[in-house]
Amino acid sequence: MSREREISNRYAPFQKRIRVAAVLVSAAVLILVLRLWALQILEGDRLFQLSLNNRLRLRPVEAPRGLIFDRNEEVMVENLASFDLYATPEDMPDIEDTTRRLAEILQSSPDELRQRVSQGQGSQLGPVLLRKGVDERIVAAIEEQKIDLPGVSLRVRPVRTYPNGGSAASLLGYVAEVSQAQLKSKEFRDFRPGETMGQAGVERRYDAFIRGVDGGEQVEVDALGKVSRLIQQVEPQSGFSLHLTLDNRLQRVAEEALQGKSGALIAVHPSTGEILAMVSQPSYDPNQFSQRMTPDQWRKLTGDPHHPMQNKGLQGQYAPGSIFKLVTALAALEKGSITPETKFSCDGAFSLGSHLFHDWKKGGHGALDLRQAIANSCNIYFYNTALKAGIGEITRVARELGLGAPSGLGLSGEARGIIPPKPTVPPEAGGWYPGNTVMAGIGQGMVTVTPMQAVMMVSAIANGGSLYRPWVVRKVETLDREVIEEYGSELVRKVNIDPDNLAIVREGMQAVVSEGTGGRAKIPGLRVAGKTGTAQVVENKKSGSQRGDQRDNAWFVAFAPADNPQIAIAVVVEHGGFGGQVAAPIAKSLLEAWFKLPKEQRPAQVAEAEPTEGD
Amino acid sequence: MEAHLMLTSRRVLPAFDWRLIAAAVGLAALSVLIIYSTSGMHASLFRRSLYLKQATWIVMGVFAMVLLCVVPYRTTWSLAYPLYAFLLVALLLVALIGRTGMGAQRWLSIGSFAFQPSEFMKLSLIILLARYFEDHKDGLHTPRIFILPIILTLVPMAFVLRQPDLGTAIMLLLISTSILVVMGLKIRYLVLLGAAGAAVAPVLWHFLHDYQKNRVLVFIYPDMDPMGAGYHVAQSKIAVGSGGLIGKGWMAATQSQLNFLPENHTDFIFAGLAEQWGFIGSLGLLLVYAYLLSRGLRLAKDAHDLFTMVTSFGIVCMMAWQVVINVGMVTGIMPVVGIPLPLLSYGGSSMLMNMLAVGFLLNIQKHRYLY
């Protein structure tokens, strides 16, 4: 037996098994080939399409929002570039060195930076955010040392900025990401998650103009979502600028006057309806929303009992109190049930059936005519007048003057106020009682108005019977100052009230300031017409919610000059007390600012001593 | 011409299997091309420099190949146990002071080189088993002859599993089992051992990292998590399939380039090839591997002693299992268990080890002509 044969015999079992192994290996390779056939030939086209979708992404480039100016071209809302600092660890050949240099620029600890960078290594989230909103000095330094800082990048992000902070915040609104709830509603179906939009006030109402047209980039991205190549780019178009009717200077004066109080103030031009100032206090800083808001800030804003997020001028519904006496007077005059000369005697009380209604002044005012009654805001006089006019005529005049319906400013959330419906159910059947009429006649009970309605009503009285729609945006312009849209005054209606009667009431309103309850709005050299109001805070007393103050809401409405009105004002101070005492001085400081009059040097104690403390 | 060349080559450089060398070096060169072409313009600087590093490894690998080809294999035979012991110590050192990367402690740093003992352990285990079986060739009919080889396999396996490197541990197991079966270990004992293994599997499962558990689970339920562990497989299937018949062309492997494919230069390098050169390229690659394996199997079959038979068969098994599991994994019919493609995947230790293995095959081949 040769050696060869001996070996082959001896190894025969191994060789047999090796042959089996060879067959198995061949079979396995064949399976792989079949698998590749299935993937590459049978499914090739489908997977090829998939591979295309996999790498192309449309990346929106948000357009900068338009600017907002006041009537004197002063910037009220702008965009500031915020630079965010990012690191791409994969592009840093020497993390140690780069972070050390970076730490020098940022004046921070290199260890902390290095840690953040290495944490981002191999991250699925792309570049690591190192620092948000770095200042200009750092931006300059990083640009300068760019070559020594591989993998370090700055990204620009426009941040909506309100240079005046909380000034006019509730009117201007704020900008924030569209919320999950909004995305679900039909109105926002064109919005992408994460897209920012105007969320309140003017920012919201005029969002379509301000937001501009977002651009887009067709980019190639890798599996980490990191952009690796720009394929196509459509530049974003900046939003249009808004020019408001607001006067920033007046606005600031008004805010100062209402500082520390809770309430609202609106000033309009009575013969156009343009809003000159609109204050709601307390306010909030809309800049908070441009940055990412902390839950704590949000809780603080929404949990505040004074509702800083609310625009009280539009959303606050207050019992008008004595400012409603203007309506009652007009109703009685319209009906012919009184003349300016009609006198009622006031002894401090008025009985109706078994009810006794009181005047605010103990002992009463004595005999008064209409002018004196308005000037002194005599309740007894207007109880009588209300009964004579009847609730039907009172509500008709109220509705004519725009009460009980939204003013039409167009900002969201505007309240309607309450004006009682025409009584159809007789008192016997539990309907409207004469007592209700008496209460309504002095602006209590089933009557509420918003400060916006109040100022438009006063404007209509001031301008001789034209009810205007309030407006706040004068025009919309492109960046090149090309006018896109221009707005003007819009008459809601010529009120169906005899102009002579309006003149009689204006007469009374002048007397309010010159000799009545509104003495604190008196300005030498300016004929101011006004009406005070001190409205009982019914809901508080009823509900007993005791959220601190239960003092009455203080009202003051005014216009000036009385013979040629240039400005109309409504002020309400929540739980402020007497309107003549609290609200009238606020209106006065506004008038002084508007007519650029020197602030009258008038010590506070003199004011205290004035006789007409009442309503 | 052919005959003349063969004649000259036999005379000048006797018995070198040039086609085997061409296959191995060709694969290695292809690996540089794929790593280069899938790094893309936008990959990190580090990733973009890897093809050069791989080229360096290949040059070193060719030297290693020549070394093992020239050194008489009896020398290797005599070093079988010391080598194994040395690598066990190295594995112990890895566990103690090893460098960590990608969630596992696999490397030993020697200067600026990172060396992965577990890779070399595969070859060392083959050589060890070859020597063992040659030393005990007369006792192969007794089952207890297989006890020591099993222990010698399980010890390094345990180290590797602890790193954790599931892929290499599985490879050690498969290589050893294949050799034991060819050496006559009865299938019924194997089944018994398998049952014992299954009994301790829950214990081993406990030692697996979450990502490894995930990978096993995702293999069983492939659509469980398309963005997590299943993501690799989904992406690599897209990459492979999108290559179609002839591929997207050189440098056009968008899937592999754009980081859609993680590990696109190591375990998933096949996807880069399949995407660029399609079914034709993939088939070509498999044919080259098939050629390599058939050469090895022929050597094993024709071997004159058990040492060379087991060594060449072991090397074939190692490469065959790695090719089948790796390509199966990339095409989605095998679980994702980090097993590199021999001579193609990026990695110094893997390249060196495979080059050494080919060198060993060449050595055995050379000696056949001496008879």
Mean pLDDT computed over A581-589: 93
Is A48's pLDDT higher than 50?
yes
Mean of all residue pLDDT scores within chain B? 84
**Nearest Cα residue in chain B from A4:** B304
pLDDT at B224: 52
**Nearest Cα residue in chain A from B282:** A36
> Which helix (H) or strand (E) segment is A537 a member of?
none
pLDDT at B358: 95
Q: Which residues of A touch B289 (CB under 8 A)?
A: 29
SS3 A437: helix
pLDDT at B40: 63
Q: Which residues of A touch B42 (CB under 8 A)?
A: 222, 228-229
Is A550's pLDDT higher than 80?
no
Minimum-distance CB partner of B297 among A13, A22, A223: A22
SS3 A484: strand
pLDDT at A24: 95
Contact call for A35 and B333, based on CB within 8 A: yes
Contact call for B244 and A19, based on CB within 8 A: no
Alpha carbon of A192: minimum distance to chain B alpha carbons (Å): 22
Minimum-distance CB partner of B242 among A48, A220, A223: A48
Alpha carbon of A254: minimum distance to chain B alpha carbons (Å): 57
Q: Which residues of B touch A41 (CB under 8 A)?
A: 244-245, 279
Mean of all residue pLDDT scores within chain A? 84
Minimum-distance CB partner of A13 among B184, B244, B313: B184
pLDDT at B357: 96
Spatial CA neighbour of B130 closest among B324, B270, B351, B307:
B307
pLDDT digits (tens, 9 = 90+) for A119-146: 766 544 456 778 777 888 888 888 888 7
pLDDT at A339: 93
Minimum-distance CB partner of B260 among A35, A46, A54: A54
pLDDT digits (tens, 9 = 90+) for A70-114: 999 999 999 988 888 888 776 777 888 888 888 888 888 888 888
What global pTM score does this model have?
0.57
Residue B39 tokens read as 């790094």
pLDDT digits (tens, 9 = 90+) for A56-67: 555 667 788 999
Which DSSP letter does residue A613 get? -
- Kindly provide the residue ranges of all beta strands, DSSP E only, lying in A489-582, ordered along the sequence: 490-494, 529-535, 553-560, 567-573
- A491-505, A570-584, B96-110, B133-147: least confident range: B96-110
| Rounded CA separation B365/A413 (Å) | 91
Residue A36 tokens read as 């590749």
B339 Cβ under 8 Å from any chain A Cβ: no
SS3 A416: coil
Minimum-distance CB partner of A40 among B44, B240, B324: B240
pLDDT at B371: 44
Spatial CA neighbour of A484 closest among A314, A238, A306:
A238
Q: Which residues of A touch B45 (CB under 8 A)?
A: 90-91, 93, 150
Is B229's pLDDT higher than 80?
no
Alpha carbon of B255: minimum distance to chain A alpha carbons (Å): 6
Contact call for B42 and A229, based on CB within 8 A: yes
Binned at pLDDT 50, 70 and 90, residue A222 comes out as low
pLDDT digits (tens, 9 = 90+) for B198-227: 888 787 777 666 666 766 665 556 555 444
Is A327's pLDDT higher than 60?
yes
Please say whether the dihedral angle defined by the alpha carbons of residues A268, A251, A591 and A614, taken in this order, is positive or negative: positive
B193 Cβ under 8 Å from any chain A Cβ: no
**Nearest Cα residue in chain B from A89:** B44
Minimum-distance CB partner of A40 among B178, B244, B328: B244
Binned at pLDDT 50, 70 and 90, residue A188 comes out as confident
Contact call for A40 and B255, based on CB within 8 A: no
What amino acid occupies position A469? R
SS3 B126: helix
Q: Which residues of A touch B43 (CB under 8 A)?
A: 90
Is B82's pLDDT higher than 70?
yes
pLDDT at A280: 94
Q: Which residues of B touch A32 (CB under 8 A)?
A: 286, 323-324, 327-328, 331
DSSP string, A102-119: HHHHHTS-HHHHHHHHHH
pLDDT digits (tens, 9 = 90+) for A428-440: 666 778 888 888 8
Minimum-distance CB partner of A7 among B45, B235, B304: B304
Binned at pLDDT 50, 70 and 90, residue A540 comes out as very low
**Nearest Cα residue in chain B from A27:** B324
Q: How far is CA A124 from CA A463, B182, B262, B295, in A?
A: 66, 46, 11, 44
| Rounded CA separation A321/B82 (Å) | 105
pLDDT digits (tens, 9 = 90+) for A396-441: 999 999 999 999 898 888 899 988 876 666 666 667 788 888 888 8
pLDDT at A606: 38
pLDDT at A128: 74
Is A490's pLDDT higher than 80?
yes
pLDDT digits (tens, 9 = 90+) for B31-66: 999 998 887 655 667 777 889 999 999 999 999 999
B259 Cβ under 8 Å from any chain A Cβ: yes
Contact call for A11 and B309, based on CB within 8 A: yes
Instruction: Enumerate residues 6+ apart whose C-beta is below 8 A from A4.
Output: none
Alpha carbon of A227: minimum distance to chain B alpha carbons (Å): 9
Contact call for A54 and B255, based on CB within 8 A: yes
Mean pLDDT computed over A435-449: 89
Alpha carbon of A88: minimum distance to chain B alpha carbons (Å): 9
Q: Which residues of B touch A28 (CB under 8 A)?
A: 320, 324
Is A609's pLDDT higher than 50?
no
- Best of B177, B178, B182 to disrupt the A interface (most A CBs within 10 Å) is B182
| Rounded CA separation B116/B106 (Å) | 6
